[in-house]
């Protein structure tokens, strides 16, 4: 028996109200490890390409990794794998909280949820007991009220995933909440739960997790904790991106927002901070509880806001009033919406409004000028409930642009239906690769090129070598996402693949090398590429909006510099080739054979 793992998944069929355990063959675990890797294998085997994301046949998976539930730093992450309502293809969305440890303590490596409940329902899992409970009384309620109910009526210290009205209303950027303020935000996983009539999932486990070499694990923890003594919070990123000219401002039409400094940056967030928080099993402690002391949002208390929220619901909307961003953050969390996409959607709507493409008549009286934070607060509620103008915004920028016409798709800042995170690729060209080729759509967490282009002085405005840089960064992240540890603390600890192999080995008893893990990452990236190709994607979908490729930013270090289509395509093709795919991004037969995709066992449920 492998240590660390539980060796089985819990399959729950909501239509039949049945459940059973599904063993995972050791061969699959050693090849796919867990988290993203295992998710790729399960997606390939279990989700047919003809299935619509909101069909009962779509599979909603909550996965853990071998390190989950142990003391390995940052291992309190869980991963949702499903077909994306935003893109129609592969979706992986990470969050933290109590879910992963509780799933493991309950005796599973993950949950696989299929079917659709007849009426609003919930799943309550305590060790080997699974209950299907009515959730009609919670339908329409926010995530906070739902989770409060669960903690009061089931267990105060359980893992709990829940959706708000946005998920119920099938919005393609609805998130799945966990531990109140933690969100699997991107790609619309909340809408998949909503489509299954599943309001919440609560898990409590009382069992334990073995570890092959406990003393070895202790030693690694002490060694690496020493590298993380200073508190680092994501709002620190804001002054960095502002200086680099990549802070999205006015719907990505500018790269700097001068009013951000001193108003919505890390110093201001620290002023508002009343307490530090950490994820389960992490010594990084990067979360902050903040509270508004005065003004119209007085006494509002949230966990956050993080950088992405400050940038997209702040700078991108030209809002420099921190309490308003916190209010928007609170609303998104409670209503169950991704703050990144919500900021992208409203930014796009504001630009259309200021250009006259949308009028006050269209918006139902909302004055959607940049900076009007009261309109943002109002609009977020309308979006989540699909009311009035909110119903239009609830479609996401890609669909909004398609419906509006007027060439608005040129500044609809998205890729594969997923709105951009808060780094303008024009101020660091490596990001064009990550945003375009990341399987779930525009994403900053599969690789973070600013780490190289901004922080170590590599030239951000050249194309040479960027594909290899991105591939290397993606490999590191893929290893962390399969072991399922947080890439924030993982990056802070400056761990190499060899270091991660040590964590993996002390917990599981395997004997992996860093190169084995790097090879694993290649297998997984190729597997996910195959998934999206099977879903009907091709290189034409790995495209960025015209504003990003053919226009320059007016300010900052990137002022006047245009990436240009040729440069972009060159970087993208280089990336495909260095993965062992052909120039159109299709994995070659040679590599498919090399990775043994056609000779491995098939997972069935």
Q: How far is the CB of 276 from other proteins (least distance, A)?
A: 5
Nearer to other proteins, 102 or 318 (CB): 102
Nearer to other proteins, 208 or 564 (CB): 208
> Residue 520 CA to chain centroid, in angstroms?
21
Nearer to other proteins, 146 or 436 (CB): 146
- H-run or E-run covering 123: strand 121-126
Nearer to other proteins, 182 or 440 (CB): 182
C-beta of residue 283 within 8 angstroms of C-beta of residue 273: no
Q: Using alpha carbons only, what angle is made at residue 353 by residues 348 and 354, rounded to the nearest 5 degrees?
A: 100
Q: Output the six-digit token pair for 128.
A: 């080997």
Q: How far is the CB of 219 from other proteins (least distance, A)?
A: 12
C-beta of residue 87 within 8 angstroms of C-beta of residue 418: yes
C-beta of residue 300 within 8 angstroms of C-beta of residue 326: yes
Give the interface with other proteins as residue ranges (CB under 8 A): 69-71, 97, 101, 105, 144, 147-148, 156-157, 179-181, 205-211, 214, 221, 225, 274-283, 285, 287, 289, 301, 303
Nearer to other proteins, 425 or 490 (CB): 490
Q: How far is the CB of 503 from other proteins (least distance, A)?
A: 14
Nearer to other proteins, 35 or 430 (CB): 35
Q: How far is the CB of 280 from other proteins (least distance, A)?
A: 5
C-beta of residue 523 within 8 angstroms of C-beta of residue 592: no
Report d(CA 25, CA 28) in Å as an integer: 5
Q: How far is the CB of 218 from other proteins (least distance, A)?
A: 8
Q: How far is the CB of 228 from other proteins (least distance, A)?
A: 8
Burial class (CB in 10 A: 0-12, 13-18, 19+), 278: middle
Q: Which residues contact 209 (CB under 8 A, 6 or more apart)?
A: 4, 6, 69, 70, 104, 105
Burial class (CB in 10 A: 0-12, 13-18, 19+), 140: middle
Q: Return the HEC string of 376-405.
A: HHHHHHHHHCCCCHHHHHCCCHHHHHHHHC
Q: How far is the CB of 163 from other proteins (least distance, A)?
A: 17
Q: How far is the CB of 143 from other proteins (least distance, A)?
A: 10
Q: List the strands of the sheet with 273-277, edge to edge.
A: 273-277, 287-291, 301-303
Nearer to other proteins, 3 or 197 (CB): 3
Q: How far is the CB of 206 from other proteins (least distance, A)?
A: 4
Q: From start to end of 139-188, where are the E strands?
A: 159-162, 176-178, 182-184
301-319 burial string, b = 16+ CB within 10 Å, else e?
ebbbbbbbbbbbbbbbbbb
Nearer to other proteins, 298 or 301 (CB): 301
Q: How far is the CB of 36 from other proteins (least distance, A)?
A: 22
Nearer to other proteins, 97 or 248 (CB): 97
Q: How far is the CB of 333 from other proteins (least distance, A)?
A: 10
Q: Which residue has the tokens 């209303």?
A: 169
Q: Output the six-digit token pair for 192.
A: 């998949």
Nearer to other proteins, 147 or 525 (CB): 147
Nearer to other proteins, 275 or 360 (CB): 275
Q: Alpha helix locations (H) across 237-318? A: 237-244, 266-272, 307-312
């Amino acid at each position: 028996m492998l240590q660390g793992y539980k060796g089985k998944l819990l399959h729950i069929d909501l239509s039949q109200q049945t459940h059973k355990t599904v063993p995972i063959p050791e061969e699959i675990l050693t090849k796919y490890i867990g988290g993203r890797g295992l998710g790729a294998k399960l997606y390939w085997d279990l989700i047919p390409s003809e299935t619509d994301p909101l069909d009962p046949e779509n599979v909603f998976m909550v996965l853990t990794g071998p390190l989950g539930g142990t003391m390995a730093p940052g291992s309190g992450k869980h991963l949702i794998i499903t077909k994306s309502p935003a893109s129609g293809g592969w979706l992986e969305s990470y969050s933290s909280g109590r879910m992963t440890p509780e799933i493991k303590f309950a005796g599973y490596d993950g949950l696989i949820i299929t079917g659709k409940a007849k009426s609003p329902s919930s799943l309550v899992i305590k060790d080997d007991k699974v209950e299907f409970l009515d959730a009609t009384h919670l339908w329409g309620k926010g995530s906070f009220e739902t989770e409060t109910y669960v903690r009061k009526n089931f267990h105060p210290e359980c893992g709990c995933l829940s959706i708000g009205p946005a998920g119920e209303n099938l919005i393609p950027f609805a998130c799945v909440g966990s531990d109140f303020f933690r969100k699997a935000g991107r790609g619309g996983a909340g809408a998949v739960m909503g489509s299954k009539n599943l309001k919440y999932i609560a898990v409590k486990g009382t069992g334990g997790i073995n570890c092959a070499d406990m003393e070895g694990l202790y030693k690694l923890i002490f060694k690496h904790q020493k590298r993380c003594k200073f508190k680092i919070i994501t709002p620190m990123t804001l002054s960095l991106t502002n200086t680099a000219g990549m802070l999205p401002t006015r719907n990505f039409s500018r790269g700097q927002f001068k009013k951000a400094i001193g108003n919505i940056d890390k110093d201001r967030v620290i002023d508002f901070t009343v307490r530090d928080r950490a994820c389960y099993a992490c010594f990084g402690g990067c979360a902050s509880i903040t509270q508004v002391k005065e003004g119209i949002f007085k006494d509002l208390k949230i966990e956050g806001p993080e950088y992405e929220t400050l940038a997209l619901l702040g700078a991108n909307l030209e809002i420099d009033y921190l309490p308003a961003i916190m209010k928007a953050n609170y609303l998104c969390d409670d209503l169950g919406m991704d703050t990144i996409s919500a900021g992208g959607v409203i930014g796009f709507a504001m630009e259309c409004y200021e250009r006259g493409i949308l009028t006050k008549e269209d918006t139902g009286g909302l004055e959607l000028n940049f900076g009007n934070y009261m309109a943002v607060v109002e609009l977020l509620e309308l979006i989540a409930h699909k009311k009035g103008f909110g119903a239009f915004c609830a479609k996401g920028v890609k669909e909004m642009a398609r419906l509006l016409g007027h060439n608005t798709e040129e500044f609809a800042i998205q890729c594969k239906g997923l709105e951009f995170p808060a780094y303008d690729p024009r101020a660091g060209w490596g990001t064009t690769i990550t945003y375009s080729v990341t399987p779930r759509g525009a994403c900053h967490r599969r690789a973070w090129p600013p780490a190289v282009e901004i922080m170590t002085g590599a030239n951000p405005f050249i194309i040479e070598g960027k594909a290899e840089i991105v591939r290397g960064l993606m490999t590191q992240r893929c290893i962390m996402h399969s072991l399922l540890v947080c890439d924030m603390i993982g990056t802070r600890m400056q761990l190499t693949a060899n270091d991660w192999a040590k964590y993996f080995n002390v917990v599981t008893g395997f004997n992996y090398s860093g190169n084995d893990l790097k090879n694993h990452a290649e297998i997984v990236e190729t597997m996910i590429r195959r998934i999206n190709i099977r879903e009907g994607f091709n290189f034409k979908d790995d495209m960025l909006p015209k504003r990003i490729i053919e226009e320059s930013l007016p300010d900052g270090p990137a002022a006047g510099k245009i990436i240009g289509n040729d440069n972009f395509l060159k970087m993208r093709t280089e990336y495909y080739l260095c993965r062992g795919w052909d120039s159109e991004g299709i994995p070659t037969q040679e590599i498919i054979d090399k990775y043994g995709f056609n000779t491995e066992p098939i997972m069935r449920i």
